[in-house]
Structure 1
Amino acid sequence: MTTLRLTTIGTTVVLGLVPPAQAAPATWQIDPDHAVVAFTILHAGYAKVLGRFSQIEGSFVYDPDTQELGTVAARIGAQSVDTAHEKRDTHVRSGDFLDAAAHPMITFAADGGTPTSATTGTVTGDLTIRGVTQPVTLDVTLNKRALYPCCHAKETLGISATADILRSTFGSTYALPDFVGDTVSIILEFEAIRTD
């Protein structure tokens, strides 16, 4: 009788009839040492200027097994903008563009996302620049999920994301439409470390 019971249990497990343990979402912290927030914008119709921000922090709740995304929160220091041209950077920080003195933080907040494949999806949230909040949709790709090969040795995600915004919708209309473009293409590349 005991042998029969054990055999039945073993067969059930092999056949996959025992439901798996419920996966739980985890919190992931963006690693500021391995994070890039960059942008491009057309200058006078000639070529795109590339800039980036060096002050980045953020976290999100995510279950990679189910692709369930929870709360997303990110903060970017507007004063940290760098376009490799000091005079231009000063102008970009001014009221014509970022108005960084009055609004020192650019923020993004979301609550959920939509998977489009096993490694891609979209995240729609609220982006705030210059104190103005607008909905923005990020196209997101999960590049890698694995234990980090050195240093902290924790489970880490590698993520790429892009979005296009119109700076005019955030109140920056300086030199439109001919000298400085309206469309700003955002580029995100970062690693996120599991914290629980």
Structure 2
Amino acid sequence: MRRRTAAAFAILSAALLAAAPPARLHYRIDPAASNVDARVAFLGLSSKTASFPAIVGKLSLPDAAASAPKSAITLDVTLDARKLEAGDTRTLKRLKGEDFFDVEHYPTVHFSGETLRMTAVRTAEVSGQLTVRGVTRPETLHVTFNQPLAENRGSQPIQLTGTMRIDRRAYGMTGLSMVVGRKVNITIKTRMVPL
């Protein structure tokens, strides 16, 4: 009888462990150590860059994400477009205006990452949804970590650089089409601290 009880307990324990959700690691963006830049060609000879210093967000991913081919994650990044910065006042006014970010009606830019696919020990692709000016489209963020993700067990900050290339016209930014390039190169540099 005692053996049957022990066997039943072992089976039940194994079933509960198998049914338990995988452990997850949780982080938040450190706004003081994070920034986003958006660069676009200008007159075909140079470029203009806008910076978004006001950034908040969080990251949640499985503990075993670094060893899985693909993992479901939660990456939420929100930029305050009203606080964007540019190299000169004329460019800043245009970027905040109706032809570009239209910050009066759309004060934030948001990226929601849903899937992480490791491409090497320090690089990955994050697939998700980008929302700009009320338009939401699928985009991919190409990420490089400062150290192999597998070495981080959730107790140390994560530093990463992410890049994304989008078509501004797809988000309703059609102004100055003969002067400003169509493709925008976005770079995010961020430090994420454990929760």
Query: How high is the TM-score relative to the length of structure 1?
Result: 0.80
Per-residue displacement from partner, 1:118-176 (whole Å, max 9, x unpaired)? Answer: 111101111011111111101111113689xxxxxx61001011010010000111111
Matched position secondary structure for 2:170: helix
**Residues 61, 69 of structure 1: 8 Å contact kept:** no
Distance in structure 2 (CA, Å) of the matches to 1:156 and 1:72: 15
State the TM-score, normalizing by the size of structure 2.
0.80
Q: Which amino acid aligns with 1:118?
A: V
Name the structure 2 match of 1:52.
51
Partner of 1:128: 131
- In structure 2, give the amino acid aligned to 1:159: L
Instruction: Measure, in 2, the Cα distance between the counterparts of 1:84 and 1:135.
Output: 29
Deviates more, 1:138-147 or 1:102-111: 138-147
Aligned length: 167
Counterpart for residue 14 of structure 2 = none
Give the aligned partner of residue 80 of structure 1: 83
The aligned residue for residue 70 of structure 1 is 73
In the alignment, structure 1 residue 112 sits paired with structure 2 residue 115: yes
Give me the identity figure in percent.
25
Compute the displacement of 1:69 (Å): 4.9
Change (3 A) 1:64 1:117: farther
Q: Which has the higher helix share?
A: 2
2:16 paired residue number: none
CA distance in 1 between counterparts of 2:49 and 2:134 reads 23
Check if 1:29 corresponds to 2:28: yes
| Structure 1 equivalent of residue 183 of structure 2 | 183
Q: CA deviation at 1:64?
A: 5.5
What is residue 139 of structure 1 aligned with on the other side? 142
Structure 1 residue 115, shift from structure 2 partner: 0.9
Aligned-pair Cα RMSD in Å: 1.8
Unaligned runs of 5+ in 2: 1-20
Q: Which moved more, 1:183-192 or 1:59-68?
A: 59-68
State the Cα distance separating 1:110 from its structure 2 match: 2.0
Q: 1:120 to 1:64 in 2, by over 3 A?
A: farther
Q: Which runs of 5+ in 1 are unaligned?
A: 1-21, 148-153
Following TM superposition, the consecutive aligned residue runs of length 4 or more in structure 1 with deviations greater than 4 angstroms are none
CA distance in 1, matches of 2:41, 2:81: 20
Q: Which amino acid aligns with 1:163?
A: M
**Counterpart for residue 39 of structure 1:** 38
Larger fraction in strand:
1
Q: Supply the distance in 2 between the matched residues of 1:114 and 1:55 (Cα, whole angstroms).
A: 27
Larger displacement relative to structure 2 (30-39 or 109-118): 109-118
- Could you tell me how far 1:185 is from its partner in structure 2? 0.1
Q: CA deviation at 1:45?
A: 1.0
Q: 1:111 Cα shift?
A: 1.6
SS of the residue corresponding to residue 82 of structure 2 reads helix
Residue type at the aligned position of 2:26: T
